[in-house]
């Protein structure tokens, strides 16, 4: 089945120790997103790739970086995790919008990050 895969599902890191979360997709969608979701809150968009074009949200901290080496994979790098970065990180994909829209996003299961 076509899907969005995130690894690992649970990640524990230490304060200040760099961590990388990965996302892969078999949907062949050209847009990929990273969201941060804290407990009892809505997902917050960090950035997205439209093909190879990187689009950063204005309020995304510099501590968060992303790489998309090819269509299928996208990585979220947190250079120096703080306690406030503990959250669920969701990856999503979509086709680019057309005249009829068709831009629903498909989400992976998420990676729950714990910072000690």
Partner 1 sequence: AQKVTQAQTEISVVEKEDVTLDCVYETRDTTYYLFWYKQPPSGELVFLIRRNSFDEQNEISGRYSWNFQKSTSSFNFTITASQVVDSAVYFCALSGFNTGNQFYFGTGTSLTVIP
Q: Is the dihedral of CA 14, 72, 90, 68 positive or negative?
A: positive
Site of tokens 């629903």: 104
State the minimum distance, in angstroms, from the CB of residue 26 to partner 1. Answer: 16
Q: Does 107 bind partner 1 (CB under 8 A)?
A: yes
Q: Does 58 bind partner 1 (CB under 8 A)?
A: no
Cis peptide before 8 (omega within 30 of 0): yes
11: closest CA among 97, 103, 116, 111?
111
State the minimum distance, in angstroms, from the CB of residue 113 to partner 1. Answer: 12
- What is the C-alpha to C-alpha distance for residues 56 and 80, in angstroms, rounded to an integer? 18
Q: Does 41 bind partner 1 (CB under 8 A)?
A: yes
Stretch that binds partner 1, among 18-26, 62-70, 71-79, 91-99 (CB under 8 A): 91-99
Q: Which residues of 6-23 are buried (b: 16+ CB within 10 A; e: fewer)?
A: beeeebebeeeeebebbb
Question: 19, 21, 23, 31: which one contacts partner 1 (CB under 8 A)?
Answer: 31
Question: 20, 26, 80, 96: which one contacts partner 1 (CB under 8 A)?
Answer: 96
Contacting residues toward partner 1, per CB under 8 A: 31, 33, 40-43, 45, 48, 50, 88, 90, 92, 94, 96-97, 100-101, 103-110, 112
């Amino acid at each position: 089945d076509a899907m969005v895969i995130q690894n690992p599902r649970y990640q524990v890191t230490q304060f200040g120790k760099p961590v990388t979360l990965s996302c892969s997709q078999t949907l062949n969608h050209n847009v990929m997103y990273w969201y941060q979701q804290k407990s009892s809150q809505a997902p917050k968009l960090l950035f997205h790739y439209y093909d190879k074009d990187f689009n950063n949200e204005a309020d995304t901290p510099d501590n968060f970086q992303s790489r998309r080496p090819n269509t299928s994979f996208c990585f979220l790098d947190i250079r120096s995790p703080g306690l406030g970065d503990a959250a669920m990180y969701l990856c999503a994909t979509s086709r680019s919008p057309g005249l009829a829209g068709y831009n629903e996003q498909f989400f992976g299961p998420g990676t729950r990050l714990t910072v000690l």
